[in-house]
Structure 1
Amino acid sequence: MKLLHIDSSILGPHSVSRTLSSEIVARETALHPGIQVIYRDLANDKALHLSGAHMAAWQGGAVEDKVLGADLATGSAYLDELFAADVIVIGAPMYNFTIPSQLKAWIDRIVVAGKTFKYTDAGEVKSLLPPNKKVIIASSRGNVYTPGTPVAALEHHESYLKSVLSFIGLNDVTVVRAEGVAFGQEAKEAALAKARADILQLAS
């Protein structure tokens, strides 16, 4: 088995999502001894945002810029890692009501027509990924955005991630969430305790 571990927080050792994603990986490793872990730190080794030069290269244009060439190779590696992974763990903090831009850059490299999905003649979307992949999202949020809260309508974070993953056929998605972590140390510790209890409930 292979596990793809992705972190996207810019907070390093102070990151709640990084803490949770590493504990999820530890849990999955305990459940599946011998699982191979591939790690991507998108904050410290980030891909470029898409540009016209990327589009031209994908359409067969010559690639003369070394930086662009290296970045295109990174995007291809992202796809290879996604296809190979049986389990995908994504550390995803909320920044300004949505995901970090570096995580969006990763998504822009894996949601590619003809690679991870295609449209049928009837206009339906068909996934091109191998089936039965499992995704676990380590979600952290400063406020509380669950349904019924005053700011629930501003949540474009987990909902976006689940939607875009489902679009390419990744429907087995579990969210381990710590929210309200900006409400003080006691609230943060309570949120982490709940998330850790959820991690212990993860099954093979």
Structure 2
Amino acid sequence: MKKILVLYGSPMPRETSISTILMDYFVKEYQESHPEDEIISLDLNMEPMSTLPLTSANLGSFYNEELSDKYINLLKSVDKVIMNAPMINFNVPATVKNFFDRISVANKTFSYKYAKNGSSIGLLDHLKIQIIATQGAPLGWYPWASHVNYLEGIWNFLGAKVNPTVLLDGVKAEPLNTKSKQELLELKKNELASLAKEF
């Protein structure tokens, strides 16, 4: 039996968040293919750390046990992570960035010890990651903006194995901006179902 952590990263209401609708479908397909696995859900919007970003005022207490080790220990206790993230102003939502700020701690989730110059060793190498992302603009409209690259890059830095990301782009542009949430889900159902079975 595997333990699966489902991270809700979208700040949008669950019933209107396209990335959440896609992720919920992925989780449903995953559960059907892996009924013995345990699902643990964590809505980052509901966590105290989500409203407490790193500032000069809290630098000394930011990485405390309650708001940092709690999430690191959770990641160390699970086998896989499924997470969603829409693009917000060309990057990940603040809740997701706060989460990564909390868990990216030297000698806990990564280390420079025994690493070659200019590299690091990720300490979350037992994890397998599935990212489900959306963005309003079609891919390539803003070449300098890629929240997917950031998400894949930081998980790789932490040593995790990243599955191919599911990205639904252009949801705020024609022709996708006229489609219903269900129609948007239909566009990705086959990809989501296929990846869920293999994950």
With the shorter chain as reference, the TM-score category is 0.7 to 0.9
How far apart, CA to CA, are the structure 2 residues paired with 1:6 and 1:81? 11
Return 5+ residue gaps in structure 2 as ranges: none
Q: 1:31 aligns with which of 30, 33, 40?
A: 33
- Decide which moves more: 40-49 or 87-96: 40-49
Q: Name the aligned partner's letter for residue 142 of structure 1.
A: G
Identity %: 27
Residue 152 of structure 2 corresponds to residue 162 of structure 1: yes
Asked whether the 8 Å contact 1:178–1:192 carries over to 2, the reply is no
- How far the C-alpha of 1:192 sits from its partner, in A, is 2.6
* Equivalent residue, structure 1, for 2:161: 171
Q: In the TM superposition, what is the alpha-carbon distance from 1:58 to its structure 2 partner?
A: 7.0
Opposite residue 189 of structure 2, the aligned amino acid is R
Q: Deviations over 1:120-179 (max 9, x none)?
A: 354331122243x2111110111111xxx4x14132200111111111111333211212
Instruction: Please give the secondary structure, in 2, of the residue aligned with 1:154.
Output: coil
- Does residue 14 in structure 1 map to residue 10 in structure 2? no
Change (3 A) 1:195 1:9: same
Describe the shift of the 1:46–1:21 C-alpha distance in structure 2 as closer, same or farther (beyond 3 A).
farther
Q: Which residue of 1 aligns with 2:124?
A: 129
Query: CA RMSD for the aligned pairs?
Result: 2.2
TM-score calculated relative to the size of structure 2:
0.84
Aligned residue in 1 for 2:187 = 194
Q: 1:3: which partner in 2?
A: 4
Q: Distance in 2 between matches of 1:171 and 1:155?
A: 23
The equivalent residue for 2:171 is 181
- Aligned residue identity for 2:72: L
Is 2:94 the counterpart of 1:101? yes
Count of residues in correspondence between the two structures: 188
Q: Distance in 2 between matches of 1:185 and 1:17?
A: 17
Give secondary structure in 2 for the equivalent of 1:92.
strand
Letter of the 2:9 counterpart: S
1-structure distance, mates of 2:94, 2:162: 24
- Contiguous gaps of at least 5 residues in structure 1: 60-68
In 2, distance between residues paired with 1:112 and 1:37? 25
